[in-house]
Amino acid sequence: MDTFDFIIVGGGASGCLLASRLAHSLPHLITLLIDAGGHNSDESLKSFGERHTTLTAPGYNWGYKTVPQAQLNDREIDYSRGKGLGGSTAINFCVYTRGPEADYEHWADVVGDEVWRWKEVQKRFNKVCWDLN
Protein backbone atom coordinates (compact mmCIF):
# COMPACT_ATOMS: atom_id res chain seq x y z
CA MET A 1 0.00 0.00 0.00
CA ASP A 2 1.39 3.40 -0.91
CA THR A 3 -1.58 5.65 -0.21
CA PHE A 4 -2.32 6.99 3.25
CA ASP A 5 -4.88 9.41 4.62
CA PHE A 6 -2.65 10.48 7.49
CA ILE A 7 1.12 10.27 7.84
CA ILE A 8 2.52 10.86 11.31
CA VAL A 9 6.26 11.51 11.31
CA GLY A 10 7.83 10.71 14.66
CA GLY A 11 6.95 7.81 16.91
CA GLY A 12 7.45 9.64 20.17
CA ALA A 13 4.76 9.70 22.81
CA SER A 14 2.72 12.37 20.99
CA GLY A 15 3.10 10.79 17.56
CA CYS A 16 2.07 7.37 18.84
CA LEU A 17 -0.90 8.81 20.71
CA LEU A 18 -2.04 10.79 17.66
CA ALA A 19 -1.70 7.79 15.34
CA SER A 20 -3.61 5.61 17.79
CA ARG A 21 -6.43 8.12 18.17
CA LEU A 22 -6.74 8.57 14.41
CA ALA A 23 -6.75 4.82 13.77
CA HIS A 24 -9.41 4.17 16.42
CA SER A 25 -11.67 7.13 15.69
CA LEU A 26 -11.43 6.91 11.90
CA PRO A 27 -10.93 3.19 11.18
CA HIS A 28 -12.02 3.58 7.55
CA LEU A 29 -8.98 5.79 6.89
CA ILE A 30 -5.37 4.61 6.70
CA THR A 31 -2.84 6.04 9.16
CA LEU A 32 0.91 5.57 8.77
CA LEU A 33 3.29 6.15 11.68
CA ILE A 34 6.96 6.37 10.74
CA ASP A 35 10.05 6.88 12.87
CA ALA A 36 13.76 6.95 12.09
CA GLY A 37 14.60 4.57 14.92
CA GLY A 38 13.59 1.02 15.70
CA HIS A 39 10.83 -0.69 17.64
CA ASN A 40 12.53 -0.29 21.04
CA SER A 41 11.13 -3.71 21.90
CA ASP A 42 14.26 -5.23 23.48
CA GLU A 43 13.02 -7.35 26.40
CA SER A 44 15.80 -6.13 28.70
CA LEU A 45 14.49 -2.57 28.40
CA LYS A 46 11.15 -3.55 29.88
CA SER A 47 12.82 -3.80 33.28
CA PHE A 48 13.14 -0.37 34.88
CA GLY A 49 16.41 -1.53 36.41
CA GLU A 50 17.96 -1.84 32.95
CA ARG A 51 16.44 1.19 31.24
CA HIS A 52 19.40 3.40 32.20
CA THR A 53 21.37 1.66 29.45
CA THR A 54 19.29 3.45 26.82
CA LEU A 55 20.79 6.81 27.77
CA THR A 56 24.09 5.95 26.10
CA ALA A 57 23.03 3.33 23.56
CA PRO A 58 23.39 4.61 19.97
CA GLY A 59 20.34 2.65 18.86
CA TYR A 60 18.11 4.40 21.38
CA ASN A 61 19.63 7.88 21.71
CA TRP A 62 20.44 10.35 18.93
CA GLY A 63 23.48 11.45 20.95
CA TYR A 64 22.94 15.17 20.55
CA LYS A 65 25.23 17.62 22.33
CA THR A 66 25.00 21.37 22.68
CA VAL A 67 27.54 23.63 21.08
CA PRO A 68 30.49 24.34 23.39
CA GLN A 69 29.34 26.56 26.25
CA ALA A 70 31.68 29.48 26.90
CA GLN A 71 30.41 29.82 30.48
CA LEU A 72 31.30 26.17 31.13
CA ASN A 73 34.89 26.18 29.90
CA ASP A 74 33.69 25.22 26.41
CA ARG A 75 32.14 21.96 27.57
CA GLU A 76 29.36 20.40 25.55
CA ILE A 77 26.21 19.38 27.42
CA ASP A 78 24.42 16.12 26.69
CA TYR A 79 21.02 16.65 25.08
CA SER A 80 19.64 13.13 25.04
CA ARG A 81 16.75 12.59 22.64
CA GLY A 82 15.13 9.23 22.16
CA LYS A 83 15.42 7.36 18.89
CA GLY A 84 12.67 4.96 17.86
CA LEU A 85 9.15 4.21 18.98
CA GLY A 86 8.45 6.03 22.19
CA GLY A 87 10.93 8.78 21.36
CA SER A 88 12.49 10.41 24.39
CA THR A 89 9.93 8.71 26.60
CA ALA A 90 11.69 5.45 25.78
CA ILE A 91 14.91 6.69 27.39
CA ASN A 92 13.60 8.88 30.21
CA PHE A 93 12.04 6.03 32.16
CA CYS A 94 8.57 6.88 30.79
CA VAL A 95 8.38 9.95 33.00
CA TYR A 96 6.62 13.15 32.07
CA THR A 97 5.73 16.21 34.09
CA ARG A 98 2.78 18.52 34.15
CA GLY A 99 3.15 22.23 34.53
CA PRO A 100 1.80 24.03 37.58
CA GLU A 101 -1.88 24.94 37.72
CA ALA A 102 -1.08 28.65 37.57
CA ASP A 103 0.55 28.24 34.14
CA TYR A 104 -2.57 26.70 32.63
CA GLU A 105 -4.79 29.35 34.17
CA HIS A 106 -2.51 32.06 32.75
CA TRP A 107 -2.55 30.50 29.28
CA ALA A 108 -6.35 30.31 29.36
CA ASP A 109 -6.47 34.01 30.22
CA VAL A 110 -3.94 34.97 27.54
CA VAL A 111 -5.65 33.09 24.70
CA GLY A 112 -9.18 33.60 26.00
CA ASP A 113 -10.00 29.90 25.76
CA GLU A 114 -11.50 28.00 28.67
CA VAL A 115 -10.22 24.68 27.31
CA TRP A 116 -6.79 25.61 28.73
CA ARG A 117 -8.10 25.94 32.30
CA TRP A 118 -6.50 23.56 34.77
CA LYS A 119 -9.72 21.61 35.35
CA GLU A 120 -10.16 21.09 31.59
CA VAL A 121 -6.55 20.09 30.97
CA GLN A 122 -6.69 17.67 33.91
CA LYS A 123 -9.41 15.74 32.06
CA ARG A 124 -7.03 15.23 29.13
CA PHE A 125 -4.14 14.26 31.37
CA ASN A 126 -6.36 11.71 33.09
CA LYS A 127 -7.50 10.31 29.75
CA VAL A 128 -3.90 9.75 28.69
CA CYS A 129 -3.13 8.02 31.99
CA TRP A 130 -6.16 5.76 31.68
CA ASP A 131 -5.26 4.94 28.07
CA LEU A 132 -1.89 3.69 29.27
CA ASN A 133 -3.57 1.21 31.57
Question: Taking the CA of residue 53 as centre, how many other CA atoms within 13 Å lie in the half-sphere pointing to its CB?
Answer: 11
What does the pLDDT look like over 98-129, one tens digit per residue? 899 999 999 999 999 999 999 999 998 887 77
Query: What's the pLDDT tens digit per position in 1-29?
Result: 689 999 999 998 889 989 999 999 999 99
CB 33 within 8 A of CB 15: yes
Residue of 118 and 59 predicted with greater confidence = 118
Q: How confident is the model at residue 47, as a pLDDT?
A: 65
The predicted structure's pLDDT at residue 131: 54
Please answer whether residues 67 and 79 qualify as being in contact, where contact means their C-beta atoms are separated by less than 8 angstroms: no
Tell me how far CA of residue 132 lies from CA of 5, 13, 20, 40, 70, in angstroms.
25, 11, 12, 17, 42
Reported as a pLDDT band with limits 50, 70 and 90, residue 45 is: low
Please give the residue that has the higher pLDDT: either 85 or 116: 116
pTM above threshold 0.95: no
